[in-house]
Amino acid sequence: MAATQFKDVLPKAICEELIATVPNMSEMFESFSGQVLPRKEINRDWSYNFYRISKDEASSYFKYIEAILPNAEIKSFRLIHYPPKTRIGLHRDGWMESDGESNHGLIIQLNDPQSYKGGHLMVNNIMMNMNIGDATLYHYSDPHEVKMVKSGNRWIANLRLMM
């Protein structure tokens, strides 16, 4: 399947607000399916950080997603931070029990791509060019990766959706 790109899904101020919330987050959170889990996780294979956001915390952002994908059910909302020398190797997603069944991912660029080097999102071996607030929708069968961040920090929102 081909990935779909959307321009200006989130306003720049919302993107900045999401990044700014990270230092003040609690250690635990309630998943969309009601499980209490650690909020932060460091990926063992590729060392990037992700922060889980509860349904209550994320609900004010749903209207932006529903405007572009009215038939999507949001199953999880996470912020992912790629510091220098982190990446995600080529893979396909699958749904997670803690989120509930899902079949699509939506990546929203939260910071200026000019503020870091590398870190390109590739879906089906095609580079996705995104500015702050832009998004890429992909099906879980689509192979995708994030190239190594060489310098700076890359921030994205990662949503899991059932469509």
For 10-37, the pLDDT digits (tens) are 999 999 999 999 999 999 989 888 889 9
Q: In one letter, which amino acid is 108?
A: I
Average pLDDT of the residues in 104-129: 97
User: Rounded to an integer, what distance in angstroms lies between the CA atom of residue 79 and that of residue 48?
Assistant: 11
How far are the Cα atoms of 59, 82, 127, 148 from residue 115, in angstroms, in the given order? 28, 12, 18, 14
Domain boundaries, the chain: 4-23+30-137
Token representation of residue 163:
């469509």
Percent of the chain predicted with pLDDT > 70: 100
How far are the Cα atoms of 18, 32, 98, 115 from residue 57, in angstroms, in the given order? 10, 11, 17, 27
Per DSSP, the three-state class of 37 is: strand
For 144-154, the pLDDT digits (tens) are 999 999 999 99
Q: Where are the beta strands (DSSP E) in the chain?
A: 4-6, 28-30, 36-38, 40-42, 49-53, 73-82, 88-91, 104-109, 117-118, 121-123, 126-128, 135-139, 144-146, 149-151, 154-162
**pTM for this predicted structure:** 0.94
For 120-142, the pLDDT digits (tens) are 999 999 999 999 999 999 999 99
Average per-residue pLDDT for the chain: 94
Q: In one letter, which amino acid is 109?
A: Q
